[in-house]
C-alpha cells in the first residue's frame, strides 16, 4: 500500500517539518508586526505539548521493549537451569 512506501513516509515527514518551520517563522513575523503575542505563544505551547507527548511515548516504548527483553532473558535462564 502507498502508506507503507518509505518515500511517502519521508515526504510526509518533510512536509510536517516544513509546516512547523513555516509556522514558526510566519507566526513570529506576524507577532512582531501586530504586537499581539498570544497566538504565537499558544502555537509554541501546543508544539511543546506535542513534543512532550512524543517523548513520553518514546520513553514508554523503550521501557516496555527493555522489560520484554529482560523478561525473555530471565525466562530462558530459568528454563535451562533444571
Instruction: Tell whether 41 and 28 lie within a shared domain.
Output: no
The pLDDT of residue 81? 61
16-47 pLDDT tens trace: 999 999 999 999 999 999 999 999 999 999 99
Give the H/E segment covering residue 57.
helix 38-80
The C-alpha atoms of residue 19 and residue 6 are separated, in whole angstroms, by: 20
Instruction: Tell whether 17 and 46 lie within a shared domain.
Output: no
* pLDDT exceeds cutoff 70 at 1: no
Print the domain residue range for 23: 1-35
- Nine-digit cell string for 34: 501586530
Asked whether 31 and 42 are in contact (CB, 8 A), the reply is no
The pLDDT of residue 82? 57
pTM of the model: 0.71
Instruction: Tell whether 42 and 81 lie within a shared domain.
Output: yes
The C-alpha atoms of residue 59 and residue 79 are separated, in whole angstroms, by: 30
Amino acid at each position: 500500500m502507498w502508506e507503507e512506501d518509505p518515500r511517502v513516509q519521508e515526504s510526509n515527514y518533510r512536509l510536517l517539518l516544513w509546516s512547523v518551520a513555516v509556522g514558526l517563522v510566519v507566526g513570529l513575523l506576524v507577532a512582531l508586526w501586530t504586537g499581539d503575542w498570544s497566538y504565537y505563544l499558544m502555537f509554541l505551547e501546543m508544539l511543546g505539548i506535542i513534543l512532550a507527548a512524543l517523548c513520553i511515548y518514546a520513553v514508554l516504548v523503550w521501557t516496555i521493549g527493555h522489560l520484554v527483553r529482560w523478561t525473555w532473558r530471565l525466562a530462558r535462564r530459568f528454563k535451562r537451569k533444571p
